[in-house]
Amino acid sequence: MNEFLQWVKNIRESIGETLLVSMGAAIGSVISWIYTKVRYRRERQFATASSKTKCEVFYQIGRLESSDPNPQAENIINTLLQGIGIMIPWRWSQYVLYYAREKGVAENNIELNAFLKSPQQMNIDQDEFSWNESEYWSCIVRVWVVMLIFSAVLLSISLKALNLATKSNDAQYTPLLFIAFISFVCWFILFLGSVMQDSRLRNAKRFNAQFSPWLEQKLCQKQSTM
């Protein structure tokens, strides 16, 4: 503990009067980072893309499909789709959109948007599109294992620094409180991200439970007419 207090004291001496300014800048940077990440995620969702943008994307896809064969057409189409929050290849995502239209699923439906952004949890190739249950649970486990590991580290640092701050003198109180606060903020951001990731995966699975039987039926009908 003495070594930790000495380290904190050295920080205090090296930073001096600029510590409070640094705290303000750090807090401002954290808030700015959170806002940027939330805004990026929001803009990259099918629900939040404007109707004009979606129409332009689908119009360009229609032109690409009706034009002369282009070896890069599929890549171009998938890039256009990613711009409006659809990460599933067009070969299969068009079925998802047909399903949503047929069943009256709103564009801002949480489960629909989660599904459109979860290709990692699916088996996707030219002839197969299915939910990968093992990958789904593997991802869930990874999210919370990482969360638990970092929680043990960050909360330990935060609580230890806070405990020392209550017993320290004035010179050590502020830097210890700063360390406790930053550690807790980092933990909270990680926790919030883990909850959001877990929620996205579970919503995607719920959508698949309804969509998968419909898709199987449509594919069987398509094969029977060939």
Predicted pLDDT of residue 16: 46
pLDDT higher than 50, residue 118: yes
What six digits make up the tokens of 74?
């599929």
Quick check: is 211 in a domain? Answer: yes
Look at residue 179 and tell me if it is in a domain: yes
Determine the pLDDT at residue 26. 56
* Residue 129 counted as domain residue: yes
Q: Which two tokens stand for residue 9?
A: 């004291």
Out of 36-40, 95-99, 112-116, 167-171, least confident range: 36-40
Flag whether 95 is in a domain.
no
Q: How many CB atoms lie within 10 A of CB 104?
A: 7
Which of 152, 167, 153, 155 lies closest to 5 in space, CA to CA? 167
> Does the pLDDT value for residue 9 go beyond 60?
no
**Which residue shows structure tokens 């940077």?**
29
In this prediction the pTM is: 0.75
DSSP H stretches of helix in the chain: 2-15, 19-43, 51-66, 73-82, 90-103, 110-116, 133-167, 170-224
Cα separations (Å) of 46 from 37, 90, 106, 157?
16, 14, 11, 40
Task: Give the integer Cα–Cα distance in Å for 184 and 26.
Answer: 13
**Amino acid code (one letter) for 19:** L
Residues 24-41: what's their mean pLDDT?
A: 56
**Sign of the C-alpha dihedral computed for residues 154, 156, 159 and 161 taken in this order:** negative
pLDDT of amino acid 142: 93
What is the domain range of residue 156? 1-44+106-225
In a domain, 63, yes or no: no
Asked which of 71-75, 105-109, 114-118 is least confident by mean pLDDT, the reply is: 71-75
- Give domain status of residue 81, yes or no: no
Q: Report pLDDT digits (tens) over 57-103.
A: 999 998 888 887 777 888 889 899 988 889 999 989 999 999 999 99
Tell me if 50 is assigned to some domain.
no
Residue pLDDT, tens place only, 129-183 = 999 999 999 999 999 999 999 889 888 888 888 888 787 776 677 777 888 888 8
Question: Percent of the chain beyond pLDDT 70?
Answer: 79
73 within a domain of the structure (yes/no): no
Determine the distance from the C-alpha atom of residue 45 to the mean position of all C-alpha atoms in its chain, rounded to a whole number.
11
pLDDT at 165: 78
Query: What's the total number of domains in the chain?
Result: 1
Considering only residues 179 and 43, tell me which one the structure prediction assigns the higher pLDDT. Answer: 179
